[in-house]
Chains A and B, each alone.
Chain A
Amino acid sequence: MNTDDSPPVWGGRLERVRSFISYKMKDIRERRRDYLIRVALIFATALIDSAFFLGMVLPDLTPLPPVGSGIVFMVPVLSGLMLGLLLTEESYKMRAISGLYVIIVSGLIIFITLYWPVISGVAEDIGFYALWSLKWLMIAAIIITPTTLMGVLIGGSTAEY
């Protein structure tokens, strides 16, 4: 029978609530950390892919060393491989989805960078730049999509193994 002087029972409930909250908070922190790492890796891979692709399109304007067509094909494979390896705690499905995010973010970065003269108000021929940027965006999609997915899946398989 509970009386007013029954701290063990009350204390036990409090401890359980505390431990439950602590467990949940830890779970949320870990999830948030994993989410942030995944987002950071996706953006990092997209930046690497787009930087080397832009280095091929505009070789005079980039600080990167000269980029050939072979490097442009190899970089998404290698960066996707790294992404697949580093997403150690993710499933195959999440790795593939991360690869798709990389492709989308890469395309956005490439298009915005090529279209930047219009955005910054320097270029006046908007239609010409839009077509020019779209042309390179299509080429980037053709190059980056299969190579990134292949790299991510190979990296994921290697990590699982």
Chain B
Amino acid sequence: MGPTTKAAIAIYLVFALYSGFAVVSVAHNNSQVIGTTVRFSAALRNVTVSYESVNHPDGTVSYGNFTISADIVMNGVRDPLDVRVYDISYSVNIMTIEDGKPGMKAVGSFSFYSMSNPVVVRAGESLVYHTTVNITTDYFEDVVNTSYNQGLRYWILTGGLNYQISGFENLPKNSVTLWRDYSDEEAMP
């Protein structure tokens, strides 16, 4: 074995050493937990109970409306690095009319927004509970003095109960790749 061959073998082994470092880096990074995923969360938000009465002075219009509305919010977050939140709100209004004409009105809405910040929790933390209670009350009388709106009074009780349970899963780094492949197919986890 000549000196040229020995030198070539040495250079080849040095390059292989760098390749070995690359392999070990991949294995090490592959087993690092960097991301977490919120699997599902649901919230009942903006529960509103209101009563509306209309009394016209001449008696031609007289009725009351009883309204309950609530937003059901469901969030699904799919990707640890590209967090997307699907926010589905559905509002239901139930009205009763005092003059013998009960009715019901349902209004639905869908909204979508995305967050760019990843959700990161410590390893081992599996569930996060988030509870928010908001209650507001409003009472006002309509000051617009038209023939129709005269005597319009509102009692509005607005309550909000947001209860959110979020599931987190610790994921290795390469799960990002896996989830990206998977996330294009379905909208919700």
Interface centre among B5, B26, B171 (most CB of A within 10 A): B26
Q: Enumerate chain A residues within 8 angstroms of B173, measured Cβ to Cβ.
A: 58, 60-61
- Within 8 Å of chain A (Cβ to Cβ): is B12? yes
The binding surface of chain A is classed by DSSP as helix
- Within 8 Å of chain A (Cβ to Cβ): is B137? no
CB-CB contacts below 8 Å: B12-47 with A: 12-13, 15-16, 19-23, 25-27, 29-33
- Check A62/B25 contact, CB under 8 A, given A86-B9, A122-B172, A123-B172: yes
- Within 8 Å of chain A (Cβ to Cβ): is B104? no
- Within 8 Å of chain B (Cβ to Cβ): is A40? yes
Stretch at the interface among B69-77, B84-92, B174-182: B174-182
- Within 8 Å of chain B (Cβ to Cβ): is A96? no
- Within 8 Å of chain B (Cβ to Cβ): is A54? yes
Stretch at the interface among A6-14, A15-23, A44-52, A137-145: A44-52
Residues of B near any A CB (own CB < 8 A): 1, 5, 8-9, 12-13, 15-16, 19-23, 25-27, 29-33, 170-178
Is the Cβ of B13 less than 8 Å from the Cβ of A40?
yes
- Within 8 Å of chain B (Cβ to Cβ): is A82? yes
Q: Enumerate chain A residues within 8 angstroms of B23, measured Cβ to Cβ.
A: 47, 50-51, 54, 109, 113
Q: Enumerate chain A residues within 8 angstroms of B29, measured Cβ to Cβ.
A: 58, 60-62
Q: Bound state CA distance, A122 and B27, in angstroms? A: 12
What are the 5 tightest A-B residue pairs by CB atom distance, in nearest-first order?
A44-B16, A51-B19, A61-B29, A117-B172, A120-B31
Q: Bound state CA distance, A90 and B27, in angstroms? A: 34
Size of the A side of the interface (Cβ < 8 Å), in residues, is 35
Q: Bound state CA distance, A117 and B174, in angstroms? A: 9
Q: Bound state CA distance, A36 and B15, in angstroms? A: 18
- Within 8 Å of chain B (Cβ to Cβ): is A43? yes
Task: Tell me how far the C-beta of B49 lies from the nearest C-beta in chain A, rounded to whole angstroms.
Answer: 45
Q: Enumerate chain B residues within 8 angstroms of A132, measured Cβ to Cβ.
A: 178
Is the Cβ of B1 less than 8 Å from the Cβ of A41?
no
Q: Bound state CA distance, A47 and B12, in angstroms? A: 11
Q: Bound state CA distance, A82 and B170, in angstroms? A: 43
Task: Tell me how far the C-beta of B121 lies from the nearest C-beta in chain A, rounded to whole angstroms.
Answer: 15
Q: Enumerate chain B residues within 8 angstroms of A60, measured Cβ to Cβ.
A: 29, 173, 176-177
